[in-house]
Structure 1
Amino acid sequence: MPRTTHRTHRLGALLVPLALVLITACSAGPSERPAVAYRGSEQQVPPAAAAPKPAPVPPLGPPPRGSLNWRECTEQTRLDIGVPTLPEGMTFSCSRLLTDLSPPGSPGSGTARISLLGVGSGSVPLVVVNDIRGVPGTTFAARLALKLPPEMLATFRIIGVDRRGSGRSDPAECIPPAEREAIVGFDPQATDRTAVDRLLDSVRSASQECLLELEQRAQAYDTWRTAADLEELRIELGVPHLHAIGRGEGSRVLTTYAQRYPASVGRMALDGAPDPTLDAIGRAKKQARAAEKTFDAFADQCGTDGSCPLGPDPRKTVEDLIERTRAAPLPGADSPVTAGELVRAILLGLAAPERWGELVRALEAADRGDGTGIARMVSPLVHGDATHPPGLDSRIITRCNDTTLRVPPQRGTDIAAEWVDRFPLFGGTFAQRLIQCSLWPVPQRSLPTPDSPTLPPIPVVATATDPLTPALSSTRMADQLAAGITVNWQGTGHGALGRSRCVTTNISRFLVHGTLPAENTACPA
């Protein structure tokens, strides 16, 4: 800060008159006013310092010089993604990354093993990060590769990452099976304190068992440390910048990475993103509203030609089905199918329009009293399979480690009552997600807000009808970034890359050539 006195008076300055010393001593000190100058009779105030500018689009950079050991895993991957044949010449390879576990309060206390999958003939690594609530990142990357233009696969080596606790990475499998089934199958319309207390009993048992089973690892499954895994991956790959795609909640991993390692940020694209300005309650409420909107789109498509198997009013059919299932669970292949499982299966199906036919058939069968199709859709969440652990465990643990908000039981009951009334199909299920974290330890930090002013441009895709990352949430993420660019898709489902030709073309041009989409690019459905 400028000062009105520009010299410090020393004790040896004996020739300075005492009066001047006293006057100066009274007036010395920092000024709160900006330095000014005068030209004639006009006061001149210097302009404020210019704000930092966003960085330019990073170059692709040199080929990697990393030391990861890769093994061929084409047939195993083909079976994982469930396709009869692969495009000619497409192969997959798998690897493992060892990173620092780094749980809270215990730095350097062990390692975490992260599973990787590579596909594509290009030399430049492009990392793909999926939602923790979706399929494992390696599976998602393999499926995405089947839908990307040849130029992407010729330029990049696409690397899918199974986030901590998911897929073939060190699993977070710790919730007792009975409690897992109770949480997933819990009544989606429960609004009274007695019912919420029953859910809390299951949550308490699940939390205690995970903290005992995982010990210090339990609080190390979070987005903050997953961002550190990506930096370790960049170092192991031997590249100066991390080029990456984030999908949905996986986008928060990339924005957290960008805040922690801004000098390492390469070309990044976010395919849907949570609103970084909202707390957990605000985000869940928006998701409940978006899921209702997505169901309406599903119902409209089903009834387009008047031959929908769910009748002329699919919403009423499903609401009646849920109410009947609350009273009497549906027969399933191994165990009865509850109303909670029914609603979760619908949510899983809505996120992927390519599964809407499967969802219609499962709901039609359920309406006839056969819950087998519903049980099949929700099984990965509850039971997992031979290669992947049950999905519920990593979802709850990561979500609870990523937020400091804890909803007390009475507040949870009030939210459930309000949301069931406002969002009749999905409000209760999203309210229960808040309750699931009630008894989990509060993390030491919240996720950082992506506000670095020098980040390079980052396109953010906003899908008009997305049940998990609503369009407005993605738009707000773009607004929060230093140079966020919104690409709007007027389509339906979770994620547009590989589904919309327009979106895929715009994002591919950016990643391959560094050509930025125009702000607010509009892509038709």
Structure 2
Amino acid sequence: MHTRRTPRRTRTAACLLTAAALLLSGCSSGSTPSTAGSAAQDSAQEKEPTLAPLPRSTPAALTRYYGQKPSWRDCGAPGFQCATVKAPLDYADPSAGDVRLAVSRKKATGPGERLGSLLVNPGGPGGSAIGYLQAYAGIGYPAEVRARYDMVAVDPRGVARSEPVECLSGPEMDAYTRTDVTPDDAEEADTLVAAYRKFAEGCGADAPKLLRHVSTVEAARDMDIVRAALGDEKLNYVGASYGTFLGATYAGLFPDRTGRLVLDGAMDPSLSARRLNLEQTAGFDTAFTAFAKDCVRQDDCPLGGRDTPPGQAGENLREFFAELDARPVPTGDADGRGLTESLATIGVIAAMYDEGSWPRLREALTAAMKENDGAGLLVLADSYYERDAGGGYANLMFANAAVNCLDLPPAFGSPDEVRAALADFEKASPVFGEGFAWMALNCAYWPVRATGEPQRIEAEGAPPIVVVGTTRDPATPYRWAEALADQLSSARLLTYEGDGHTAYGRGSDCIDSAINAHLLRGTPPTDGKRCS
């Protein structure tokens, strides 16, 4: 066993997670005519286009945005400041209106020469970068990094403090999260489709114009405006999970303005949504196998004893999920929510992001499976969905869908397409495959057509970019880090051999030292460096 790790600094989604939760909010998407995982699809992906850089000169129509001077005010915890920066709603038509971007910073504390600003993004899409900065990065990043950089976060358009997309009320989200995502017949499939339609219609009614302009490319262009407003010639950046896609997109669009970038828990931008969802399904299966091996070594594992193989432990969990499908377990929730199969699945998934959560998951499973008490798993599911004690939800899942459904065409166009792909998903994960396949359907009903497509990002001319991958990462499989490092012309691949989602700041001195050297001295690690 390896020795690390401190508890996860903050859940960066499910996304925050893709991440942490590309797939889990059902929308990291793109359809292909062939079966997921087929050789024909893989061959097609090799021909995907490459993201082209933008012209170096700033268009005249954008000059007023690039000339902004933020008006800073104290906000949040002591030492933090906030401001608002404007960006065009539509970069193709800057006269169509503005988007207000919320920005926060904590100035460099010294000693040492200031190196500029360091933007951070925790992932999602939909995770609040400002929340992440004020809760963790601005106080928990290595002291030597905070001493030399102004720590900065901008909530991407449509997220948290930057004109958030809203889709459903709290009670409506409670119903949505309990919807059965493993339909047993056509009637249950129709119910799931109706839930996806209601979610999409709510988003469309809330922000009909903004919903067309929350893509990752637009968010990356917004970051360049923020860079200019901060007075920096280059963008220095640490992105986790989906934040790696955002950072890589920036480097692809602005290679000459790219500074010291760290992309931790990398995504592969060349994949279709169906392939992304399928490979993420396999990633969570890898993480569950690691959890199951650890669980059965404990005296209180509800999934089996010391001689139970991971496959049998998984089958035992599947049987429990099936029991919940027929009869939810009570939770003592004030709003009367029982533990359904869908909520239990999300509760298990939430604990896969950090091996430090495994004991908590083991206890929650024991309570639900042995004592008819689903409270522990419900708490894990609520934390994943960012549901508060009053029954309200942050906009994480709304923004997650809005960005993912715009970035790529939907993974599936109909229930029949899901059914045709079920065998591939169940092969990728016998425990989660069926549910993950159906979760990937919701972008089919999105009110706005996708504007993005799968494409390679090469960022020719950018300085060295550190790409970090964890070998048993559930949400961003290690293969994605290898793929992104292969695409980026200046990438240096840094590998953590271990469990959990992302690696920086989670207890590995080897990882942290390598990244700090890049951020502080501009000395990237040797390509292929491995830490354990």
Q: Same fold (TM over 0.5)?
A: yes
Structure 1 position 464 matched with structure 2 position 467: no
The structure-2 alpha-carbon separation of the partners of 1:106 and 1:363, relative to structure 1 and needing over 3 Å to count, comes to farther
- Which amino acid counterpart does residue 501 of structure 2 have in structure 1? H
The structure-2 alpha-carbon separation of the partners of 1:101 and 1:377, relative to structure 1 and needing over 3 Å to count, comes to farther
Give the structure, 1 or 2, with the largest relative contact order (CA under 8 Å, sep 6 or more): 2
Tell whether the 8 Å contact from 1:171 to 1:389 is kept in structure 2 after alignment. Answer: no
Corresponding residue for 2:402?
397
Q: Describe the superposition over 1:103-155 as per-residue Cα deviations: whole angstroms up to 9, x where unpaired.
A: 48754433323333333525421001121257422233332455432211111
| Structure 2 spans left out of the alignment, 5+ residues | 1-66
Corresponding residue for 1:476?
483
Corresponding residue for 2:314?
315
Q: How many residues align?
A: 445
1:315-394 to 2 correspondences below 5 Å: 315-332=314-331, 333=333, 334=335, 335-367=337-369, 368-380=371-383, 382=385, 384-385=387-388, 389-394=394-399
The structure-2 alpha-carbon separation of the partners of 1:338 and 1:259, relative to structure 1 and needing over 3 Å to count, comes to same
Compute the displacement of 1:353 (Å): 2.5
Distance 2:321 2:183 in 1: 12
Distance 2:483 2:184 in 1: 32
The structure-2 alpha-carbon separation of the partners of 1:285 and 1:350, relative to structure 1 and needing over 3 Å to count, comes to same
Distance 2:194 2:513 in 1: 49
Considering only aligned residues, what root-mean-square deviation do their CA atoms show, in Å? Answer: 2.6
- Which amino acid counterpart does residue 126 of structure 1 have in structure 2? L
What secondary structure does 2:157 align onto? coil
Structure 1 position 519 matched with structure 2 position 512: no
Q: Describe the superposition over 1:375-401 as per-residue Cα deviations: whole angstroms up to 9, x where unpaired.
A: 222225556348972422111111101
Q: Describe the superposition over 1:224-250 as per-residue Cα deviations: whole angstroms up to 9, x where unpaired.
A: 111122111101101100100111111
Q: Describe the superposition over 1:278-312 as per-residue Cα deviations: whole angstroms up to 9, x where unpaired.
A: 11111111110110110111222233344435542
The structure 2 residue matched to 1:199, chosen from 192, 196, 208, is 192
- Which amino acid counterpart does residue 370 of structure 1 have in structure 2? D
Which is greater in Rg? Answer: 1
Corresponding residue for 1:160?
153
Corresponding residue for 2:99?
112
TM-score, structure 2 as length reference: 0.77
Compute the displacement of 1:100 (Å): 2.3
The structure 1 residue matched to 2:434, chosen from 420, 428, 433, is 428
Structure 1 position 505 matched with structure 2 position 513: yes
1:31-50 to 2 correspondences below 5 Å: none
- Which amino acid counterpart does residue 518 of structure 1 have in structure 2? T
Distance 1:145 1:244 in 2: 14
The structure 2 residue matched to 1:273, chosen from 248, 266, 282, is 266
Compute the displacement of 1:473 (Å): 0.7
Distance 1:372 1:221 in 2: 36
- Which amino acid counterpart does residue 105 of structure 2 have in structure 1? G
Distance 1:274 1:191 in 2: 33
Corresponding residue for 2:109?
121
What secondary structure does 1:437 align onto? helix
Distance 1:370 1:390 in 2: 29
The structure 1 residue matched to 2:70, chosen from 33, 51, 68, is 68
- Which amino acid counterpart does residue 425 of structure 1 have in structure 2? V
The structure-2 alpha-carbon separation of the partners of 1:167 and 1:366, relative to structure 1 and needing over 3 Å to count, comes to farther
The structure-2 alpha-carbon separation of the partners of 1:452 and 1:92, relative to structure 1 and needing over 3 Å to count, comes to same
Distance 1:377 1:143 in 2: 20
Corresponding residue for 2:130?
138
Q: Percent of pairs identical after alignment?
A: 26
The structure-2 alpha-carbon separation of the partners of 1:174 and 1:104, relative to structure 1 and needing over 3 Å to count, comes to farther
The structure-2 alpha-carbon separation of the partners of 1:267 and 1:379, relative to structure 1 and needing over 3 Å to count, comes to same
What secondary structure does 2:260 align onto? strand
Distance 1:388 1:175 in 2: 9
Corresponding residue for 2:86?
99
Compute the displacement of 1:371 (Å): 1.9
Distance 2:374 2:125 in 1: 23
What secondary structure does 1:127 align onto? strand
Identify the range of structure 1 (153-162 vs 140-149) with the bigger mean alpha-carbon deviation: 140-149
Distance 1:417 1:190 in 2: 15
What secondary structure does 1:442 align onto? coil
Compute the displacement of 1:191 (Å): 6.0
Distance 1:472 1:108 in 2: 42
- Which amino acid counterpart does residue 514 of structure 2 have in structure 1? N
Identify the range of structure 1 (105-114 vs 208-217) with the bigger mean alpha-carbon deviation: 105-114
Distance 2:366 2:128 in 1: 29
The structure 2 residue matched to 1:228, chosen from 221, 225, 231, is 221
The structure-2 alpha-carbon separation of the partners of 1:107 and 1:374, relative to structure 1 and needing over 3 Å to count, comes to farther
Distance 1:450 1:180 in 2: 36
What secondary structure does 2:208 align onto? helix
Compute the displacement of 1:216 (Å): 0.5
| Structure 1 spans left out of the alignment, 5+ residues | 1-64, 76-90
- Which amino acid counterpart does residue 409 of structure 2 have in structure 1? T
Distance 2:504 2:385 in 1: 28
Distance 1:445 1:462 in 2: 25
- Which amino acid counterpart does residue 132 of structure 1 have in structure 2? G
